[in-house]
Amino acid sequence: MRLKLSFTFEVSTVESSKKRALKKLESLRKPVSAVYSVERNNTQTPRYLLRSMSKKNKKPPLAVSNQSSVIGTGRKPGARIDGIGGLYVNIPEDADIGNKGEWVEIPPIPGALVINVGDLLQILSNGKYKSAEHRVRTTSTKSRVSIPIFTIPKPTEKIAPLPQVVEKDGIALYREFVLADYMNNFFTNPHDGKKSLDFARI
């Protein structure tokens, strides 16, 4: 009975958090749309930015925490928030600050929402927004539960830089492709930094 009650509470908490996250994402979509002059009635935009997929990962506590104690599915370009810490972001080669290739810990800020831009938003924005390589590791003796909420288009959607952005930039940095093809390339090849973006680069 105790297990059932705990599971029910956990599921309801996840669903409640997911609804709040999607509401926040909708509010964040508005200024992005305004910057790129995307019409409100453009049915492609909400699908691009608001279709969600949730996933739960539990990471057990570690008695000793160090840089090699990385637990999770590896490096990936998404959103994280909690009070435990352990979020690390990789400094890209074209960054103006820090040591290139260094993993920098992002300390948690109470009440703050951290959003890691993914590859698809980098492509949609024609490189204006850079996807961030990140990883999560345990940094204390506390158990850690990560519940990422991804915003991702349907597999059949065609992805390309938004026309409004290309018009302003004068050139498209990425070609159009079907999302399913991009994801197939992403998961069938070894991960090596952000080289998965080469699939779409012109």
The pLDDT of residue 170 is above 90 = yes
More confident residue, 170 or 12: 170
**CATH number of 56's domain:** 2.60.120.330
Q: What is the pTM of this model?
A: 0.59
Domain tally for the chain? Answer: 1
Distance CA 198, CA 202 (A): 8
More confident residue, 14 or 162: 162
| Nearest 10 degrees: Cα torsion 126, 106, 144, 131 | 10
Determine the structural domain holding residue 136 and report its residue range. Answer: 2-199
User: What pLDDT was estimated at residue 87?
Assistant: 66
Least confident of 117-131, 144-158, 165-179: 144-158
Residues 24-62 pLDDT 10s = 666 666 555 554 455 544 444 434 443 444 444 455 554
More confident residue, 72 or 199: 199
The pLDDT of residue 152 is above 60 = yes
Residues 54-111 pLDDT 10s = 444 455 554 444 444 444 444 444 434 445 556 666 666 665 555 666 777 777 777 6
Distance CA 162, CA 33 (A): 10
Distance of CA 198 to the CA centre of its chain: 18
Q: Residue 5: which pLDDT band, with cuts at 50, 70 and 90?
A: very low
Q: Residue 126: which pLDDT band, with cuts at 50, 70 and 90?
A: very high
Paired residues of 88 in beta bridges: 105, 135
Residue 98 one-letter amino acid: G
The 8 Å CB, 24+ separation contacts for 49-53 are 49/25, 49/121, 49/151, 50/22, 50/25, 50/26, 50/151, 51/151, 51/152, 51/153, 51/154, 52/18, 52/21, 52/22, 52/25, 52/149, 52/150, 52/151, 52/152, 53/149, 53/150, 53/152
Helix (H/G/I), strand (E/B), else coil: 201: strand
User: DSSP state, 94?
Assistant: T
More confident residue, 128 or 82: 128
More confident residue, 39 or 196: 196
pLDDT > 70 fraction of the chain, expressed in percent and rounded: 41
Helix (H/G/I), strand (E/B), else coil: 111: coil
Distance of CA 31 to the CA centre of its chain: 18
Residue 175 one-letter amino acid: R
Structure tokens that stand for 113 in this block: 């929402």
